[in-house]
Amino acid sequence: MATMEELRRACRACMKCELGKTRTNLVFGVGNEQAKLMFVGEGPGEQEDLQGVPFVGRAGKLLDDMLAMFDLKREDVYIANIVKCRPPKNRDPLPDEQDACYPWLEQQLAVVRPKLVVCLGRIAAMRLIDPHYRITQQHGQWLARDGMEITAIYHPAALLRDPRRRPEAFDDMKDIAAKLKALG
């Protein structure tokens, strides 16, 4: 099986969809390759595209703050996205772009083999949990699949837009941190 570095190198040359033409940098993933907890976002934004690292903009700062509330750091988890290249003007990644990119995420999951997977927002949840996923109703619910437990929480960008949702996200994060702790 390929190592994460080999995958990253191969992905750097990826032109399987149109997003490859407009990326500044590939945003493959970051964090601990042996993490028990993996976060999956939607796709890189402007800052991520410029720096080649997921969740480094305002939403990323909020994610870091949420992790810190439960004594977690980026280095304790692995963070990736459904699509590895920035969609123009931060639009949602199109279904065929997600399809083209998904095998990279599958290979990342195979390397990390996390016990817990947390989708950040609706797009990731629709891809990883259920195409009809309703984040307002289903966030925080767990599903077991392929030796992993999967859930979704509000995307940090949604929490920036609507701070009233933060208490629910805090509760979900508390549950995630407790599950992680129980894993030892």
Could you say whether residue 41 binds ligand URA (CB under 6 A)?
A: yes
Comparing CB distances to ligand URA, the nearer of 123 and 180 is 123
Comparing CB distances to ligand URA, the nearer of 46 and 178 is 46
Could you say whether residue 114 binds ligand URA (CB under 6 A)?
A: no
Contact range with ligand URA by CB under 6 A, out of 16-24, 47-55, 96-104, 138-146 = 47-55
According to CB under 6 A, which one of 42, 49, 97, 172 is a site residue for ligand URA? 42
Which of 126, 127, 133, 130 minimizes the C-alpha distance to 100? 127
Number of residues that bind ligand URA (CB under 6 A): 14
Comparing CB distances to ligand URA, the nearer of 62 and 111 is 62
Helix (H), strand (E), coil (C) string for 13-65: CCCCCCHHHHCCCCCCEEECCCCCEEEEECCCCHHHHHHCCCCCCHHHHHHHH
According to CB under 6 A, which one of 28, 39, 55, 154 is a site residue for ligand URA? 55
CA distances from 112 to 6, 116, 180 (A): 14, 11, 15
Residue 164 neighbours by CB under 8 Å, 6+ apart:
none
Length of the chain as a residue count: 184
Could you say whether residue 87 binds ligand URA (CB under 6 A)?
A: no
Could you say whether residue 45 binds ligand URA (CB under 6 A)?
A: yes
Could you say whether residue 48 binds ligand URA (CB under 6 A)?
A: yes
Contact range with ligand URA by CB under 6 A, out of 14-22, 52-60, 101-109, 140-148 = 52-60
Residue 86 neighbours by CB under 8 Å, 6+ apart:
19, 22, 23, 24, 27, 43, 44, 45, 46, 48, 49
Comparing CB distances to ligand URA, the nearer of 17 and 59 is 59
Q: Three-state DSSP class for 172?
A: helix
Q: Three-state DSSP class for 78?
A: strand
Q: Give the footprint of ligand URA on this chain (CB under 6 A).
A: 27, 41-45, 48, 54-55, 59-60, 81, 120, 157
